[in-house]
Structure 1
Amino acid sequence: MRKQQCVCGAISVVLFLVGAGLLIAGLVVVLKVFPDIVNSSVKSQKVLGLNSDGTLNDFTKTWATPTYISTMQYWAFDYQNTIGILNRAIYPDMDEKGPYAYDETIINSQIGFDESGEHMTYAQATRYVFNPEKSCPTCDPKKDTITIPDISFFVGMDQIFALIDQVLGNEKIAGICELLLKEKCGELATMIERELGIFLSVFKTGPFVTVVGAHHILIFFS
Structure 2
Amino acid sequence: MKKILISIFVFTVFAVGYSEETYKYLGTDGQIYTMSETQISMNQRWQRIKVMDAQISFEPDKNKLQRIHDEYQKEFAIYMEYLKKNPELLFTTGDYYFRSGRYEKAFEIFSQDDTNIKNLFGAATSARFLNDTENALKFYNAAIDKNPNFYESYLGRGIVNRNMGNYDGAISDFNKYMQYRQDESVYLGLGDTYMVSKRYVEAKNILEKGRSKFPQSNLIKEMLMRAYAKLK
TM-score band, normalised by the shorter chain? under 0.3
The two structures have a TM-score, normalised by structure 1, of 0.22
The two structures have a TM-score, normalised by structure 2, of 0.21
**Higher share in helix:** 2
Q: Which has the higher contact order (CA 8 A, sep 6+)?
A: 1
**Higher share in strand:** 1
